[in-house]
Amino acid sequence: MTGIDLSSNQLTGGIPIEIGELSQLLSLNLSHSSLTGSIPISFQNLTRVENLDLSHNMLRGKIPSELVALTYLSAFSVAYNNLSGRIPFERQFSTFEMRCYDGNPELCGDPLPRKCSRTNQPKEEKDEKESNRIIDHPLFFYAFVTVSYAFGFWAFFGILIIKKNWR
């Protein structure tokens, strides 16, 4: 078997990871259904696949970066899903046009005009970077030094005022 076309069959549920074991497959079309879940990382084993169409489904998550290992891949589409994150842009993925990714508002990076920014990062990373940015600000340093100096000055003279025998 060199090709599987299950397009427009009203398929539901996730894509079985076992499809990734069909290493001799040249073409896989699962478009125009209601598939959910993510693109299986096992697709990296489809080493001879030339055509991969997963468009017009309800897939979520990222496009696995492992798919750049599919060196024979010449036609690829994940348009009109709910995918997010950075598009892998190495090897043959740099040849795929913008229309291959249409309808995925959370995808970013080349070839799309939406560049990946801090808003595309996980929330924990973003919060950590913002807190580090405040601490690294020069104004924070000067405020800290000023408050420390004032506290030390008044602590020293406050003790001298209170303890008469130290005068």
For residue 58, the model assigns a pLDDT of: 92
Same domain membership, residue 48 and residue 74:
yes
Residue in the block written with tokens 């970077």: 129
Examine the domain organization and report whether 106 and 38 are in the same domain: yes
pLDDT value of position 46: 92
Q: Are 72 and 48 in contact (CB under 8 A)?
A: yes
Per-residue model confidence (pLDDT) at position 122? 45
pLDDT averaged over every residue in the chain? 84
Answer yes or no: do 111 and 33 share one domain.
yes
pLDDT tens readout for residues 138-154: 777 788 888 988 888 88
Question: Both 44 and 20 in a single domain?
Answer: yes
Higher pLDDT, 81 or 137: 81
d(CA 60, CA 34): 12
For the question of whether the overall pTM of this predicted structure is more than 0.75, the answer is no
136 and 107 both lie in a single domain: no
146 plus 73 within the same structural domain: no
Place of tokens 């808003």: 119
- 3-class DSSP state for residue 84? strand
Assess whether 64 and 10 both reside in one domain.
yes
33 and 87 belong to one structural domain: yes
Question: 67 Cβ partners below 8 Å, 6+ apart?
Answer: 39, 43, 44, 73, 88, 93
Range of the domain at 139: 125-166
Q: Could you check whether the bond before residue 105 is cis, i.e. omega within 30 degrees of 0?
A: no
Q: How confident is the model at residue 167 (pLDDT cuts 50, 70, 90)?
A: low
Domain count, the chain: 2
CATH number at residue 17: 3.80.10.10
Gyration radius of the chain's alpha carbons: 28
112 lies in the same domain as 77 = yes
The side-by-side arrangement of strands in the sheet containing 27-29 is 3-5, 27-29, 51-53, 75-77
Q: Are residues 15 and 50 in the same domain?
A: yes
Q: Tokens for 8, please give them.
A: 């427009």
Q: Are 15 and 86 in a shared domain? A: yes
